[in-house]
Amino acid sequence: MDQPRHVPVLLDRVLELFAPALHGKPAIVVDTTLGMGGHSDALLSAHPELTLIGLDRDPQAIEMAGERLARHGDRVHLVNVTYDHIDEAVEDLGYSRVDGVLMDLGVSSLQLDEEERGFAYSKDAPLDMRMSKGSGMTAADVLNTYSHGDLARILSTYGEERFAGKIASAVLKEREKEPFTNSGRLVELLYAVVPAASRRTGGHPAKRTFQALRIEVNGELESLRLALPAALGVLGVGGRIVVESYQSLEDRMVKQAFAELAKSKTPPGLPVELPGHGPEIKLLTKGAELANEQEIEDNPRAAPVRLRAAERIGDPR
Ligand SMILES: C[S@@+](CC[C@H](N)C(=O)[O-])C[C@H]1O[C@@H](n2cnc3c(N)ncnc32)[C@H](O)[C@@H]1O
């Protein structure tokens, strides 16, 4: 039996939302966050004529999902890029429009489980946290080189950490003695700095700092900011986009990007919609959808999920 951690989040709902756009035709879907290929595998099985383009920045995910999806043969194309390159990836494969885009944001269970990648605060491991292995700054580099102001800013913005200033001061003091290399020392520092009383509501004292470092190291919000318009740009009329976010900053970006395109740009007061000024998308979810209790029990990773979906209705391009 599969371990619960390998269950794709909100799988049934994702399949249900895509079905009208994919049913009974040779449709194309881009899974921009392939991970272990769970959602992709289910979509390919549900739609025998579907072609799937799978993107992931992590070469290990591409390799593992590639093995899992091999049984679907030439219906699968995998590309090792960040999702803001979705338009180039689609074009390079010879397509101009697609019928579905899936974004299941954040880290995969595989990445969390691999101790040496340093994503998990429960294990003492090198402070790496890069999803695209081998390129760019590590979490240790951030801790050892950022100014007090920059550290406090990322902890506060990306981690929504109330004690960002205090943590930044403690990090600067500690790194004078010796640079940070492993997560254990950082976790110890956070236990000392984050007041015990705040754990009752805020969870593990390292949770928010680890989230902030991961977002900074991987430029996650910048990548998402660029990816949303690019993804909506390759979606044909009737095509659907489904986004699953796991923290509020991501969800806010998705909400705002969708709200902007769901609005009419015809000046108010005109009796008819000006050509090319109508809404570009229709929202398919009312607010953000959450996982229900049963799903969270079966798959604890689903607890923070916020799902939003939309359909392209206009094509002013
Ligand atoms: C939550 S997992 C996806 C799990 C997948 N839906 C499944 O069913 O197995 C997120 C994946 O997105 C990838 N990822 C995160 N940020 C990315 C980005 N900017 N571009 C491409 N892939 C990204 C991660 O490497 C990770 O493998």
List binding-site positions. Answer: 37-39, 56, 83, 104, 111
In a domain, 133, yes or no: yes
The pLDDT value recorded for residue 2 is: 40
| Confidence class for position 315, pLDDT limits 50, 70, 90 | low
Distances (CA, A) of 167 to 55, 147, 206, 208: 36, 12, 11, 11
Position 3 confidence tier, pLDDT thresholds 50, 70, 90? very low
pLDDT given for residue 97 in this prediction: 96
131 Cβ below 6 A of ligand 1: yes
* Residues 224 and 98 placed together within one structural domain of the fold: yes
Which atom of ligand 1 approaches the CA of 131 most closely? 25
Q: What is the pTM of this model?
A: 0.94
153-203 per-position pLDDT tens digit: 999 999 999 999 999 999 999 999 999 999 999 999 999 999 988 887 778
Claim to verify: residue 99 and residue 235 sit in the same structural domain: yes
Is beta strand 51-55 parallel, antiparallel or unpaired with respect to 76-79? parallel
Residues 170 and 304 reside in one and the same domain: no
Six-digit token string for 75: 């219906």
Residue whose Cα lies nearest atom 13 of ligand 1: it is 33
Please enumerate, by residue number, every residue annotated as part of a binding site for S-adenosyl-L-methionine. Answer: 37-39, 56, 83, 104, 111
Based on the fold, state whether residues 126 and 79 are members of the same structural domain. Answer: no
Confidence band for 316, pLDDT divided at 50, 70 and 90:
low
Query: Which of 187, 218, 249 represents a domain boundary (last residue)?
Result: 218
Domain at 146, CATH number: 1.10.150.170
pLDDT of 269 reads 85
Q: What is the pLDDT of residue 1?
A: 36
Please say which residue of 194, 218, 242 terminates a domain: 218
Q: CATH no. for residue 96?
A: 3.40.50.150
Is residue 231 domain-resident? yes
Rounded Cα distance, 135 and 131, in Å: 9
Same domain, 100 and 227: yes
Domain assignment of residue 6, yes or no: no
Write the residue with the smallest CA distance to atom 2 of ligand 1. Answer: 108
Question: What domain range is 254 assigned to?
Answer: 11-110+220-312
Answer yes or no: is the C-beta of 86 below 6 A from any ligand 1 atom: no
Residue 5 banded pLDDT, cuts 50, 70, 90: very low
Residue where a domain terminates, one of 218, 247, 276: 218
DSSP state, residue 205: T
What mean pLDDT is reported for the chain?
A: 93
Say if residue 250 is in the same domain as residue 102: yes
Q: Convert the pLDDT of each residue in 233-260 to its tens digit.
A: 999 999 999 999 999 999 999 999 999 9
What residue's CA is closest to ligand 1, atom 22?
56
